[in-house]
Amino acid sequence: MNGLTLRNIFFDEKIRSILIQAFVVGLIGVGIYSLIQTTSYNLDKRGIDTGFEFLKNPAGYDISLTLIPYTNTDTHLQAYFVGLINTLLIAVTGCFVATIIGFTIGIIRLSTNWLFRNFAYAYVEATRNVPILLHIIFWYTVLLELPKIKEAANFLKFFFLSNRGVYSPALILQDGMGIVFIFIIFSIVFAIIFNIWAKKKQESTGVQLPVFLINSGVIIFLPIIVFIALGMPLLWDHPVLKGFNFKGGMVIRPEFVAMLLGLGIYTGSYIAEIVRSGIISVSKGQREAASALGLKKNIVMKLVIIPQALRVIIPPLTNQYLNLTKNSSLGIAIGYADLVHGFGGISLNITGQAIEIMAMVMATYLTISLTISLFMNLYNKSVQFKGNT
């Protein structure tokens, strides 16, 4: 009305909110800038070297659990990768165990059997109300009560159980195993193609082939036949008690098992609740309508209930996977050699590069979490309703 006077600009709601927001953003920017300045000034003043040069220096310490080659003469960078892989190992296996426990208990929670239902209820309430750290320490303490190494319990002849872990024979690959692996890959590829073909056939003719039976037969038996035909190119390396410890074979250490049990059981109880709520969220009418069409009970579950329940389950399930991954850093309490324990702990202490190392560890967890989110979101999209909107 009055044109663009200064007064009008100031009292214009839109412009004013932009101004305020710009001011706040600027303030945060100045804050971060001065934080960085202060830090680097102080580091400089205290004579602490900064930068990532230390990554090239030899780490000098040993790590027991290594899935990639590592000795104490390797660099801190290599120690970082060892830790990263150990973190991923516990995260992936933990999510797997938690999912299995969660889905089993979640479905049992809805069972019509009073005993089963209430057992699952008790499990969920008892585990999810205890802090995760206590779960881990509890399982570690339990595992430490297993027989001592000299009195290791022998079971199934080749396996030994002690408080230093489960020792089992290890496989040593011989010449010819490569061919077997090629056949394994070949049979999996075959199974995928057959699956697509069978689906097309069902869509065009309505004939259902026993896809699962044929595929599992091919995947299991084809490599076994090749394996036997090549004269079984495998050797077993048996663990033998020599001196202080078992030599040879493989070992699954109590630190790993305690982490797996702690994380799996704790997160599993949350997933159980998520699964239960997902199944309940599918309205009763859906089940009744599917039954009215004459579908069998397991087909109803597979084609009607689960796909709809997944829409509700996936987002909070993603959250639980993220939590589990982050909680795996608690391995430090029992000496599980993950990223925080090795690189974020021992390397940090040796080099003193706290800021650089912590930044790296944080960025790594962020990357892992975002990757999990990305894949879960993609999966979530694939199970959402695809209708005309």
Interface residues with another protein (CB under 8 A) are 27, 31, 34-35, 38, 41-42, 45-49, 60-64, 72, 141, 144-145, 148-149, 163-164, 242-245, 247, 254-255, 332-335, 337, 341, 345-346, 348-350, 352, 354
H or E element that contains 321: helix 306-327
Q: What are the C-alpha distances in Å from 69 to residues 74, 92, 350?
A: 9, 21, 21
Nearer to another protein (CB atom), residue 22 or residue 374: 22
What DSSP character marks residue 58?
Answer: B
Backbone dihedral angles phi then psi of residue 5, each to the nearest 5 degrees: -90, 165
CA 383, chain centre distance (Å)? 21
Which of 79, 81, 256 shows the shortest CA–CA distance to 164? 256
Is 179:223 a contact under the CB 8 Å cutoff? no
Nearer to another protein (CB atom), residue 163 or residue 319: 163
Q: What are the C-alpha distances in Å from 77 to residues 57, 73, 123?
A: 8, 11, 42
H or E element that contains 375: helix 354-383
CB of 83 to another protein, least distance (A): 12
Nearer to another protein (CB atom), residue 167 or residue 183: 167
Which of 36, 71, 74, 77 shows the shortest CA–CA distance to 54? 77
Nearer to another protein (CB atom), residue 209 or residue 333: 333
Nearer to another protein (CB atom), residue 46 or residue 386: 46
Instruction: Characterise 47 by phi-psi region: left (phi > 0), alpha (psi -120 to 50), beta (else).
Output: left
Angle, alpha carbons 111-113-118 (nearest 5°)? 80
CB of 137 to another protein, least distance (A): 9
CB of 141 to another protein, least distance (A): 8
SS3 of residue 275 by DSSP: helix
Nearer to another protein (CB atom), residue 149 or residue 306: 149
SS3 of residue 233 by DSSP: coil
- What are 58's two structure tokens? 């030899």
CB of 81 to another protein, least distance (A): 18
CB of 20 to another protein, least distance (A): 11
Which of 249, 39, 61, 77 shows the shortest CA–CA distance to 152? 249
CB of 38 to another protein, least distance (A): 5
CA 281, chain centre distance (Å)? 26
CB of 128 to another protein, least distance (A): 25
Nearer to another protein (CB atom), residue 270 or residue 343: 343
Nearer to another protein (CB atom), residue 349 or residue 382: 349
CB of 299 to another protein, least distance (A): 51
Nearer to another protein (CB atom), residue 44 or residue 288: 44
CB of 97 to another protein, least distance (A): 23
* Sign of the alpha-carbon torsion through 106, 111, 114, 116: negative
